[in-house]
Amino acid sequence: MTSTARLDPHPAASRDGHPTAVVSSMASDAHTWNLVFLQLLVEELGFEVTNLGPCVPDRLLVEQCRIRRPALVVLSSVNGHGYQDGLRVIGQLRGAAGLAGMPIVLGGKLGVSGEHRAERVAELRDAGFDAVYDDRPDAIESFRRFVAGRVAVGRP
């Protein structure tokens, strides 16, 4: 997977030197298990994780990313609103001071139907996500490769 993001040259690290990550859903999505799983997965990839949980309002997400300056932001959506929520949220994140180059990925079930998947993914990538995973069997493996290939570079 290729990416256009620039790594933050000084991503925030936790006290014990691990890079930090934010795991979050978006405003309308109430699902939890995806977030519990992603927290464990991202921790196992070497990050210290802040899990903002389900139904995170846009403003809170932007604010938390600005305060924490994580090395990676992982957004998850499984309620079928991921496409429109993602387009809205990425605009706000990229528009916020200091967040233009932060690695931000989105994954899950992004639409209410299985149609137009490729178009949705392309549009979300164009809008500013570094990687988009639309409910494919190899999504987790691609995500691991993305993290290994891009974010690990920024580790202290």
Q: Where along the sequence are the contacts to other proteins (CB under 8 A)?
A: 27-30, 32-33, 35-37, 39-41, 44, 51, 53-57, 60, 79-81, 84, 109, 111-114
Q: How far is the CB of 9 from other proteins (least distance, A)?
A: 29
Q: Give the separation between CA 106 and CA 121, rounded to whole angstroms.
A: 10
Positive or negative torsion for Cα 61, 66, 67, 68: positive
Closer to other proteins by CB, 60 or 100: give it.
Answer: 60
Q: Running DSSP on this structure, what letter comes out for residue 63?
A: H
Closer to other proteins by CB, 5 or 55: give it.
Answer: 55
The end-to-end CA distance of the chain, in Å, is 24
Closer to other proteins by CB, 7 or 43: give it.
Answer: 43
Q: How far is the CB of 140 from other proteins (least distance, A)?
A: 9
Question: Which run of H or E residues covers position 42?
Answer: helix 33-44
Closer to other proteins by CB, 12 or 36: give it.
Answer: 36
46: how many CB neighbours lie within 10 A of its CB?
15
Q: How far is the CB of 2 from other proteins (least distance, A)?
A: 25
Q: How far is the CB of 28 from other proteins (least distance, A)?
A: 4
Beta strands 72-77 and 48-51, pairing class: unpaired
Q: Running DSSP on this structure, what letter comes out for residue 13?
A: B
Q: Give the separation between CA 85 and CA 139, rounded to whole angstroms.
A: 20
21: how many CB neighbours lie within 10 A of its CB?
27
Closer to other proteins by CB, 5 or 139: give it.
Answer: 139
Q: How far is the CB of 132 from other proteins (least distance, A)?
A: 18
